[in-house]
Structure 1
């Protein structure tokens, strides 16, 4: 291991009684926890984090333009954040996915940011192509090293770079959707999941193209749907819909999404999996569609709700809670007696307990009983870090509504 002199780096000193989360290895140091900065670190520079009393805590990367002023990566004072360090972190992440899938996966999350000790980096693997998303300006400053390392370790045909909404402003990060190395990915790419085939547009699709985090949940939900008439809201490119039809043998599935381009892909995916006769897709706003279906007195045996993130900051939690309440309340009005409600939240700021309370209020307001059959989370290639519980973001409740 390369060593260096810790004294050579700028130092970030915490305020009194602010050090405990970072001794416990939480990776985000917000600006409000910092007393002062000794030295003149520039965006992306390596810094040392010390308590108010001067005790070493960790090494991290500095960004004066982000509210997350320092992202922490190593809790060893003599371990520099150099290419060797990043290489070892990538090795650990890749080894986990090889253990999970046994061979290079046709579709998985290869690196999951904080959970893999690489705060600010997400990498998805689509067969011979990688999709990389940066959410940290400081880490993105080392992107050339990361692209070289990924090419050495994974040997993809190409690496495509995607951005996330709001990150540029939050981080002062200037990156654009573009080809990083190698060949541009075909459109669509194809992935296999639970024996199903899905086309994915990683260039213009939502987020990083496909929601691998719901892989196991799609299979789990399908077990409850034999012979059912199913409504799948926020269906995107048809993941839950097609699993319900093909794996679950649902009688019919109606998928609804606001994106016509996503629905085009969903229809092609239905043809690919030979379920076009069982599945239909409609374009529409979720809330207005649900309200219209309630007015029309339509009824379903099962309703699936998988909305996009509804709380992006703490200031948005209350509005998100109202949104989740409204969606689930409308869904209950559409369910037959003993119907199945599958309701999801990918808002990390809404805890599992918060979501349970919302569902309890929904059931009371509707005058119906709700039994939780399964509480599920994200797939194992999206592991949860016990040091950063924000990584436990996905909630999937499978419920019987009496």
Structure 2
């Protein structure tokens, strides 16, 4: 390893990039466990090599006495799930992220639990090669009704891994299932082979935002299947909630969620969110609260400036829609956008709009998506709750 590249790895960052190496043992086959050593032969960590990936070696153990055996992986999985149990998140009628990749020391593995069913996302060769061990460990810890395998297309392509979405165990319900979150029931479709229709990372943020909405007219942009909108209507006591999203399928599901929860103060429209924001401003519409939870605007550092312009644009329009004293709940799930950059974007909105914006709360992902301090990339979600004068 090159000395100047080794310091973050001694500091327990789990990614050894291709540029960090001056030599990799030619006997090591991609997917093998390797020992990472420094320039003087000093042990750094055990990892799994993949020359096809920019992350040449994913690191998992910094203890020379703790190699990457089957027992190691099983113990890591057990520790992660036990942490969720201790937090009171593991409930057979709820949803929970049981394993969050690097944050739980299992780089490339995400495990979500939905009312007895597991959705397993494998995003690294290291995890793909150890699927049997992972499934066995999950059975020991959870005894799920089904386990479905998925992979994030762009990530697995960069890893040189082929992941065919499939059922690994049990039977996935052909009919929707339901989970409870904060007293609200949500419908999920696990049979699509794609997203579940639900984002667990906003669980606490939906509750935190709801407390600002009593008696207010609320606009929820990029509402997807209605997570924030339903919380505003049921928990927040909003007078009216309008949810907007460009996906017909998501809006249909949001409407069913509202009906299932007996909510008459919320309605949903399927229309392009970006165009609709502008149309609302042009029409002179006003709201007491606006929620912005858009999709990821950039997946790479190359497009950060374009992403920041997009965040500025939608937040400027949201501010234009707000009555004085209105609440702006604005989110970014783009991991390459820092918290400081996101806040500076809102500063620009305040300056250009001539409106005072008070930052009331800075929030992150729910507690089953922890941040590993030695891997700051695990903190991707920003949720700011603001008051706009």
Task: Give the structure-1-normalised TM-score.
Answer: 0.94
Give the Å deviation of 1:78: 2.8
Match of 2:179 among 186, 191, 196: 191
1:167 aligns with 2:167: no
Q: Which residue of 2 aligns with 1:7?
A: none
Give the Å deviation of 1:103: 5.0
Q: Which residue of 2 aligns with 1:216?
A: 204
Q: Which residue of 2 aligns with 1:144?
A: 132
Q: Distance in 1 between matches of 2:76 and 2:174?
A: 29
Deviates more, 1:144-153 or 1:55-64: 144-153
Q: Which residue of 2 aligns with 1:179?
A: 167
Kept in 2: contact 1:61–1:139 (CA 8 A)? no
Q: Distance in 2 between matches of 1:330 and 1:25?
A: 42
Q: Which residue of 2 aligns with 1:380?
A: 367
Q: Which residue of 1 aligns with 2:326?
A: 339
Give the Å deviation of 1:204: 3.0
Q: Which residue of 2 aligns with 1:29?
A: 16
**Correspondence list, 1:64-75, <5 A:** 64-75=51-62
Q: Distance in 2 between matches of 1:52 and 1:208?
A: 46
Q: Which residue of 1 aligns with 2:257?
A: 269
Match of 1:246 among 231, 234, 243: 234
Q: Distance in 1 between matches of 2:281 and 2:192?
A: 33
Give the Å deviation of 1:298: 0.8
**Correspondence list, 1:274-313, <5 A:** 274-275=262-263, 277-313=264-300
Kept in 2: contact 1:232–1:254 (CA 8 A)? yes
State the number of aligned residues: 388
Deviates more, 1:172-181 or 1:120-129: 172-181
Evaluate the alpha carbon distance shift between residue 250 and residue 89 of structure 1 in structure 2; reply closer, same or farther with a 3 A threshold.
same
Give the Å deviation of 1:219: 0.6
Evaluate the alpha carbon distance shift between residue 392 and residue 60 of structure 1 in structure 2; reply closer, same or farther with a 3 A threshold.
same
List alignment gaps of at least 5 residues for structure 1: 1-13
Kept in 2: contact 1:205–1:262 (CA 8 A)? no
Deviates more, 1:227-236 or 1:40-49: 40-49
Q: Equivalent residue of 1:326, what SS?
A: helix
Kept in 1: contact 2:150–2:193 (CA 8 A)? no
Q: Equivalent residue of 1:344, what SS?
A: strand
Q: What do residues 67-108 of structure 1 show as CA deviations (whole Å, max 9, x unaligned)?
A: 111100000123221110001001111111111116535211
Q: Distance in 2 between matches of 1:203 and 1:355?
A: 36
Task: Give the structure-2-normalised TM-score.
Answer: 0.97
Q: What do residues 149-189 of structure 1 show as CA deviations (whole Å, max 9, x unaligned)?
A: 11122100100112213123111111122111111134322
Q: Which residue of 1 aligns with 2:216?
A: 228
Q: Distance in 1 between matches of 2:156 and 2:11?
A: 29
Match of 1:397 among 366, 384, 387: 384
Kept in 2: contact 1:257–1:286 (CA 8 A)? yes
Deviates more, 1:207-216 or 1:309-318: 207-216
Q: Distance in 2 between matches of 1:165 and 1:254?
A: 32
Q: Which residue of 2 aligns with 1:122?
A: 110
Q: Equivalent residue of 1:266, what SS?
A: helix
Q: Equivalent residue of 1:125, what SS?
A: strand
Q: Which residue of 2 aligns with 1:8?
A: none
Q: Which residue of 2 aligns with 1:320?
A: 307
Q: Which residue of 1 aligns with 2:76?
A: 89
1:200 aligns with 2:188: yes
Q: Distance in 1 between matches of 2:273 and 2:226?
A: 15
Evaluate the alpha carbon distance shift between residue 70 and residue 103 of structure 1 in structure 2; reply closer, same or farther with a 3 A threshold.
closer
Q: Distance in 1 between matches of 2:295 and 2:210?
A: 21
Evaluate the alpha carbon distance shift between residue 37 and residue 392 of structure 1 in structure 2; reply closer, same or farther with a 3 A threshold.
same
Deviates more, 1:139-148 or 1:109-118: 139-148
Q: Distance in 2 between matches of 1:325 and 1:351?
A: 14
Q: Equivalent residue of 1:190, what SS?
A: strand
Extract structure 1 runs of 4+ deviating beyond 6 A.
none
Q: Which residue of 2 aligns with 1:365?
A: 352
Kept in 1: contact 2:78–2:137 (CA 8 A)? no
RMSD: 1.3
Q: Distance in 2 between matches of 1:249 and 1:104?
A: 26
Q: Distance in 1 between matches of 2:335 and 2:310?
A: 15
Evaluate the alpha carbon distance shift between residue 250 and residue 115 of structure 1 in structure 2; reply closer, same or farther with a 3 A threshold.
same
Kept in 2: contact 1:160–1:185 (CA 8 A)? no
Q: Distance in 2 between matches of 1:102 and 1:274?
A: 25
Q: Distance in 2 between matches of 1:208 and 1:121?
A: 17
Q: Distance in 1 between matches of 2:32 and 2:182?
A: 43
Q: Which residue of 2 aligns with 1:78?
A: 65
